[in-house]
Amino acid sequence: MIDNTTPAPTAGLLSTSAAGAAAASAAGSTPSSTIASTTEAIDSRFAHIDTLSTIELAGVMNNEDARVAPSVGAHLAEIARAVDGITERMRRGGRLIYVGAGTAGRLGVLDASECPPTFSTDPSRVIGLIAGGRDALITAVEGAEDDTALGRADIAAQAVGPDDAVVGIAASGATPYTVDAVTAAREAGAFTAGISCNADSALGAAAEVPIEVVVGPELVAGSTRLKAGTAQKLVLNMLSTMTMIRLGKTYGNLMVDVDATNHKLTARVHRIVTEATGADEDTVTSAVEAAGGKAKTAILMILADLDALAAEDALAAAGGVLRTALTTHTPNSQKEQS
């Protein structure tokens, strides 16, 4: 499905006529995407993709996808600034709130929904807002992305304030719902970042930290669920994962705050505790059971020779950071993560 968050084609790079652009200018209204909207550009290299064999088409698409990661890599400084801003707010008890429309909004909701099972975050601490609400997750809600009042209303409904971080997501960088939501959040004192795939976007201007990953025209012109969507997902992965690492949700590269809600994750907890401690199976099993399935608690119990209650208290005193808790206790034969 084509992401409807992108704006209409324009002159120059795009397929709108010069007369149409002139008419818009004469009317005193220039669309926010009239300059260099690469997300809507039509690339002549792909004019005959419907004549390719399936394997040829797969190669072309894979080659285009390979351009995305380096494009993201060109914006590591902005991504790091955003992570630091988000981390600071979450340490103060605030929230990470994603906001977007269409594909971009769905990507934000997806990333938010993965944080509780991966990092045991309270579902209220990482939130995804999408124009049109829950219905828009599976079907298009016509007009929602153009509703500036809705963007502001959704931010107001969350009572966004200085302790929160709001990240707007829009391939075009021009989606009215998203731009106005980020504007409202910044006016409320929140930290703001904007993820888009066009340079000098309205979203970038509205946000404190613009992350504008330009990946070029899509294989299917205007279908920003392709390279643009991939770029946005990569950036979202980095924002949430790096923030959680900064908050002490990992120990080394171990997912020590995983919520063991099923057999697969329970087995993962056992592997994590074993890897972190080097303890035998019986010791690990006993500690995990006593810890109620919490890997972080079980690791501290084994390495610092504490019971479950004492380990929980030590973690609380360390702000939930396992490495910090270990520095204040004398561990047993510790297989410390470097």
- DSSP state for residue 39 in the 8-state scheme: G
Residue type, 285: T
Burial 132-145 (b: 16+ CB within 10 A, else e): beeebeeebbeebb
- Which of 300, 295, 334, 299 is CA-nearest to residue 314? 300
* Spatial separation of the C-alpha atoms in residues 88 and 8, rounded to whole Å: 38
Q: Would residue 145 show up in a list of annotated catalytic residues for this protein?
A: yes
Asked if 155 contacts 181 with a C-beta cutoff of 8 angstroms, the reply is: yes
Surface-to-core class of residue 77, CB atoms within 10 Å of its CB (0-12 exposed, 13-18 middle, 19+ buried): exposed
* Spatial separation of the C-alpha atoms in residues 285 and 262, rounded to whole Å: 16
- DSSP state for residue 139 in the 8-state scheme: S
- What is the phi-psi region of residue 280: left when phi exceeds 0, alpha when psi lies from -120 to 50, beta otherwise? beta
- DSSP state for residue 163 in the 8-state scheme: T
Asked if 176 contacts 73 with a C-beta cutoff of 8 angstroms, the reply is: no
Catalytic residue among 64, 78, 145, 218: 145
Name the residues annotated as catalytic: 114, 145
